[in-house]
Each structure stands twice: as C-alpha cells, then as structure tokens.
Amino acid sequence: MDTMGKNRVDHGLKPIAFALAAAIVVTTLKGCGGGGGSDSSAPAPVTLDGTVASGAPLSGAIVTVTDATGATATTTAGADGSYAADVTGMTSPFVVVARGVVGTAEDSLVSVQTSAGGGTTNVTPLTNAIAATLSSSGNPIDLATNIASEKANITATQVDASEAGFRAALGGVLTAVGASGNLITTKFAADGTSGMDKMLDLVQVNVQPAGEIQLQTIAAVQADDQGANAALPGAPTSLVLPKGTLPSASDSSSLPAPAAAVTFADLENIRQAVQACFAAGSRGTIAGGNLSAACAAAPIDGAYLHQGRNAAREFDDLLADPGMDGATFLSPTIIRQLSATKVLVQFPFRKVDGFTGFRVTVAENLVTGWTLVGNHRDFELFVNGFANRRIPLTAGQVSRLETGISLFVRNDPANFPRDADVQSANVSGPGLPGFVDMNNFGAGLTLVSLAGCDFMSITANACSSLWRLRINRLDNGAEIPFASLNPSLQALTANPYPTDTVLRTIQPNAVYKWSLTLVPGSPTAVKLGTTTVTYWDRLRSRPLTNEEIVKVSFLDMTADTQTLLTNFTGGGKPMIAWTRPSNAAPAYKASFFHGVFSDFQNTKLSDTSATISCAGNANCNPDGSGNYKANMSFVQSPGVNFSLFQLLSRNKYDTQIFSQYTR
C-alpha cells in the first residue's frame, strides 16, 4: 500500500528514452560486393522479465522500469502476472515499479536489478521490502523517483546482502513449501503450486511509510480465535525491522511455518464454484429457495453464520444484483490460518463495470472439501488502524492529521434485529485506555448505541468509531496539544498521546478483547444462555506513527465540491468530485454526513466523482427520489451542527484512509 505523499512517480505510458551513445549507426561494409549487411553497432537486446505477484498474480499491473539516467520503459503484466520490458540501450541499475490491484486495493510494488544484461526481476512484497532497505527514505518508490541520488545505493553488493538476509530469515517457510533460489532473480509461476508462490501466500509484508518493515506468517497467530469464546488466544509473532535494518537467519523463529500450510490454491474449488454461479444471469436467491443449479452447488455450509449474517444475508445481495453478471472472482487472500483445516479468508471480486468488492469469511476443510462456514458470531465487529486528514472549510479552524484505531460494532437493528440485543460493548487492547500487556488489558473503551448511528459510538454525544492516538497540524506536522482540543474531540482521543516508540510496539495481529453486554431476556441472551459475550479480534496493521502519518498521500476534493459543501442546505443529490495524487490509495466509498445521519455511494477504483443519494433517514425527501429535504437539519447534538464530505480508501493491509472536509 504504501501511500506516501511527498515524492511522486508517474506510472503513465512513456516513450523509451535512449542515450545518444546507443543510437544506431549505419555503416557500409567493405569488401566483395560492398553491399549491405547486419548492423554491428546496434546494441544487443536487453530484457527485464519476471513475475508480479503478492501470492496471487497482479493481473494487468502497469510495470515501469526506470534506469540510472531516469529513462523509463513501460509494459503491462499478463493475467498470470508475467511481464517483459525491453530495456535495450538503457543503463543499469534498474528500478521496477509495478502498480496494480491486490484483492480490491491498489498497490505499488518495487524491485531492483543491477545487471546491465537485464534478466529475471520478480516484483513481490518481498522485493518491495528489499527495495525499502536500499532507499534512503525507506520508501521503496523513492528509488525510482529520486534515481539520480538513489542509484548509488543500488549496487550488487547491497542488493545481494539484503536479499540474502530476507531469504535466511524465511528459511523455515521456504523449506516447508519446497522453495529455493534468489527472491529477485529465480523464475516462478504465480499459480499457487510453485514453492516460491506458496511462500508468498504464507508471508505478509508491510512496509510502513517511514521505512519500517513488518513481516509475519499466517501461522504466526495460528489459533481459532473466531467465534465467541472466553479463552485468550496466543500473542502474535512477527518480525519488525526498523528503517534500513536487514534481517538474518536468527530472525527465522519469528516467522514460523505452519505444519500444514493452506494456500489460495487449496481454496480453488470455492472460487471456481462461485465463478460458475455468477457466470449466468439467472441465479435466484438463498432466501427465495430458487437457486440455479450452479449456485446451489457452491460449497456453503447449511449452518453458515458470519458476523451475524446467515448465508442468505451474506450472499443474496450479490446473487440478486444484475451488475454481478459475469463478475470475475479473483484468487482469495488468506488473512490468517486458524488451524490446519480452517482459515480466515478474503474473497475479492470485480464486476464487469469495474466495481470491486469482497467478502471476508471463514472457510473450513470438511469431509466434503473446503467449505464456507463463517465465524459463527452473532454480531459484526472489527478493529483496524486508520489515518485521517480533516480539512475544515470554516475560517479560523485548523486542518489536522489523525492516526488511531477504528473500532466497529454494527448497530443496525432495522436490518439485523439482533443488533438491538447489544446493550453496550467494551473493547480493550493496545493503544486503548489502561492497556499494559496480554495479562492486563486495562479498562478499554465502552461503546454505546445511538439512534441514527449504524455503528456503536465511543461517545454518547455523536456518532464516532474512531479512537485518535495522535492529532497533528496539517500545515507543519506539529502536535496539537490535547488541552486545546474541544471537549467533544477530547472524548475521542488518548490522553496523553502515545509516543512513536509506544506505537511501534503495537504489533500486526495484536489481540483486542470485545466484551458485549446483552439485554437480559433478549433473543440472543436466551440463545446463548448468558448476558455477556467475549470475542477476540486482531489488528492487521498498526496505527501510524507521528513520523509516518505526514508521509501519507490523501485524496483532494475539488474546489467546486468544497464550495458545494459550504453552501448545501438540501434539495438535490450532492456530487462529490476529487483528484488523486500519485501514490494515494483510490476511494472505494464516498460519504455525506449530515447531523446524526449519513449516506454513501460505493465507487470504482478508477472513479473521481460520486453522487450521493439520501436513503432511509429523516433528512430524505419523502417522495423516494433520493433527494434531500429543503432546509434539512444538520443538528448533531444540542447547539452543534455537523456536515462532512468523506472519501474512504484502504490499503492492502486494511488500514482505513479517510479524506474529510467539514464545515
């Protein structure tokens, strides 16, 4: 993901630039016949090729090669992630940047090649980590953007040392999957069966904006921590490398290999079955009991339950959507291996019109094969890191950057009646009040149910699920003192702010404890025989540090959109338009918050505008047009009016990235 914003690189198509010395010089052959012949001064063809993959191939990724002079060559990766770029006449070292879709998020991955003769140069999350260790800033893309100064760091000695260090640290995983060879230069197929590709399925790599590298394997937290249970799951095991630090064989214990590894190829029966279901237009629905033969054959357990959704709730919206006709279901991403026979997995899809989406659920290897079973929780919740840039359009207010943790418990009894059974929810864990370690989770935060909020809120005064750990000024990055925050924001912010050193101790897959208090006598309390439910969840990517948040690139709303927000009082549907700086993650949702209500529109990764329709709240025009009432209410709480346009992005590590404008 790495959404760094200071240095920009253009991934558009560019002509290949040739040095003058490489120009073809036509000479006349001397001797008998004096005729033409081969051009002996033409440079020999040079090609960079390899595989672009993050476990699954990055089909259609735009691959740009930058040479030591700044010249570029561009090509496109095939469906299998393979690419070949003609770099004839260009000067080593080379930096290869591949930009494509990982699941339903867009990402840029970097690799390097020092040989003047080109050759195999794979582009993967691990080559991206190698590139990060070479970059002066820790940002892999800066190797290409600042090639004039960075090329001195891309030597065969430095590249070989970094590659050898990562390969040594991954020794146990490589042995477990039967992989060998150089991580950059050994050819492999992203087919789920080659040893190198299996290794990419098992290893998760996160390069933070300031150069810290986090690695963990899907077995590092191997414990079935889904469902409702009171047993504390094991602490995560990960390898965290400060900027510029190389791993070694001594780090291999932090990257355990599962005894029986599950890869996306093992789940191919599910992907193929779902693909076949959506290949035809007539599918039926689960609730309607009229599924087509192809859809009825999909391996979904009869007792399926995930985050409070049965199979009909989980899949019928997709089945009934004509826009899903012919949708492509991409290779799944295993988030965690819960046991030898169970995984938490993301199944991404792409509609014909370019919209993307996914379902995260639990798959289990039953007697009949791999089957979707869900986590069997009665309620939906999650925890993940977020980065937020908030720009007020009111004079005198300070634009700010925020970093923290998003805490979500669904509060939607109109659509999920059992959500009304939750009286309150307490969450505790790293970064939350009172946390010490896995033996002392502290007091945590108590979330409450508010009318009009589709999630439980940290405060009783307004809808909010974002717990701020640091708040800085946007203009100079300076910390905004806690005492200067308004009282409503103080209620949503840690005091004191944790230092960057403390934030760096929050590991990927850190454990969070959810304690739900149920309404006595409610259906769920009767079903479970208790009024308290304990869930465990894990943070996939930690909150960003003070140093990192200033390097994130956010989406920019147009001047017309900002003017619309300033003047909007109701009526027609507002259209939000934006521009996307280089390396900013694309928006997947545009939202309009008004008073205690909110409306949204999902967007394609390529979209730069969205029209927001009003749906199901008191500010909607009652004629069902999706328009807003004239002179609609913006009252959020007594004496407080609230209006906000928001764009929501995410990176491949599921960090939420908010670009907000408010009046």
Q: What is the pLDDT of residues 402-447, one digit of tens each?
A: 999 999 999 999 999 999 999 999 999 999 999 999 999 999 999 9
Compute the distance between CA of residue 567 and CA of residue 434 in angstroms, rounded to an integer. Answer: 43
Q: pLDDT (tens digit, 9 = 90+) per residue, 53-101?
A: 987 889 899 999 999 999 999 999 999 999 999 999 999 999 999 998 8
CB 539 within 8 A of CB 506: yes
Quick one: DSSP state of residue 502?
H
Backbone φ and ψ for 365, nearest 5 degrees, come out as: -85, 95
Residue 12 has a pLDDT of: 34
Compute the distance between CA of residue 205 and CA of residue 426 in angstroms, rounded to an integer. Answer: 31
**Count of CB atoms situated within 10 Å of the CB of 573:** 16
- When pLDDT is averaged across residues 129-157 and rounded to a whole number, the result is 97
Torsion of CA 419, 424, 430, 432, to 10 degrees: 130
User: Whole-model pTM above 0.75?
Assistant: yes
556-662 topology per CATH: Immunoglobulin-like (2.60.40)
Rg (CA), the chain: 26
CB 381 within 8 A of CB 535: yes
- When pLDDT is averaged across residues 110-121 and rounded to a whole number, the result is 97
Backbone φ and ψ for 293, nearest 5 degrees, come out as: -60, -40
Residue 5 has a pLDDT of: 32
Compute the distance between CA of residue 77 and CA of residue 26 in angstroms, rounded to an integer. Answer: 34
Confidence band for 220, pLDDT divided at 50, 70 and 90: low
Which one is predicted more confidently, 193 or 484?
484
Q: pLDDT (tens digit, 9 = 90+) per residue, 522-541?
A: 999 999 999 999 999 998 88
Which residue ranges make up each domain of the chain?
42-254, 264-372, 381-549, 556-662
Compute the distance between CA of residue 106 and CA of residue 451 in angstroms, rounded to an integer. Answer: 35
- When pLDDT is averaged across residues 570-598 and rounded to a whole number, the result is 93
Return the sign of the alpha-carbon dihedral for residues 562, 564, 567, 569: negative
Tell me the DSSP string of 200-256: HHHEEEEE-TTS-EEEEETTTT-S---SS--SPPPPP--EEE-TTPPP-GGGGGGSP
Compute the distance between CA of residue 223 and CA of residue 337 in angstroms, rounded to an integer. Answer: 8
Compute the distance between CA of residue 501 and CA of residue 529 in angstroms, rounded to an integer. Answer: 43
Which one is predicted more confidently, 73 or 354?
73
Residue 41 has a pLDDT of: 67
Q: Which residue has the tokens 């899903």?
A: 324
Residue 591 has a pLDDT of: 97
Confidence band for 29, pLDDT divided at 50, 70 and 90: very low
Q: Give a three-class secondary structure readout of 529-564.
A: CCCEEEEEEEECCCCCCHHHHCCECCCEECHHHHHH
Return the sign of the alpha-carbon dihedral for residues 180, 177, 77, 168: negative
Q: And the tokens for 393?
A: 């359009």
